[in-house]
Structure 1
């Protein structure tokens, strides 16, 4: 069997191959640059949108007379407090950062 002989590339072929390699390297560099720019934009956006730490808050929430707190929990930046007052359960939610009331849900028995 005969193997094809290796042929030398002409200067024009060498120049064309080098131009192709440069073009591929430019595309790879631009893609990498765009990816890094996107990452920096996302990081900057998240830093600018962060609320930071809230100042310490000292609040007193008034409960009805004879009421007692049954349970407390934290869920998704919300403080959830279950209160029992006169046989009626009530769930109160507060923003965990500011402690401002965000909702109230009452449970009562049907007469």
Structure 2
């Protein structure tokens, strides 16, 4: 069967085998932690996402004589720059619901 003389390890070989086992354990734990982190990130994204909102038809009224100068997006806000009677105004809307979120008016100092 097996020769007992060959199955016995020398102290140096036993020490090397212990080091290899320890390194394999560290590598296995590191890999397991990495895989767990990926699953946690995927789960977080799945359960945290609000999904896509249905398209909304919204009509925003502008003051008479107002002119849209530019539009843009900043984070989760839709920004519309208006020129109203010579003054500049920025209106912010929530990008998901399109509800007004704020207004910033610019006026020249007298």
- 1:26-37 residue pairs with structure 2 within 5 A? 26-37=25-36
Q: Which residue of 2 aligns with 1:6?
A: none
Question: What residue in structure 1 maps to residue 69 of structure 2?
Answer: 70
Corresponding residue for 1:45?
Answer: 44
33-42 vs 11-20, which moves further: 11-20
Q: Give the alignment's TM-score, normalised by structure 1.
A: 0.79
Aligned residues: 102
CA RMSD for the aligned pairs? Answer: 1.8
In the other structure, the counterpart of 1:92 is 91
Cα distance in structure 2, aligned partners of 1:44 and 1:70: 42
TM-score when scaled to structure 2?
0.79
Q: Secondary structure at the match of 1:97?
A: coil
Residue in 1 aligned with 2:4?
none
In structure 1, C-alpha distance between the alignment counterparts of 2:60 and 2:15, rounded to whole Å: 78
Distance in structure 2 (CA, Å) of the matches to 1:47 and 1:102: 27
Look up the match of 1:57. 56
**Distance in 2 of aligned mates of 1:45 and 1:87:** 48
Instruction: State which drifts further: 52-61 or 16-25.
Output: 16-25
Distance (whole Å) between structure 2 residues aligned to residue 39 and residue 71 of structure 1: 41
Gapped runs of 5+ residues in structure 1? 1-9
**Which whole-Å deviations, capped at 9, do the CAs of 1:59-109 have from their partners, x for residues lacking one?**
111111221212112232321111112122110011222211121100122
Task: List alignment gaps of at least 5 residues for structure 2.
Answer: 1-7
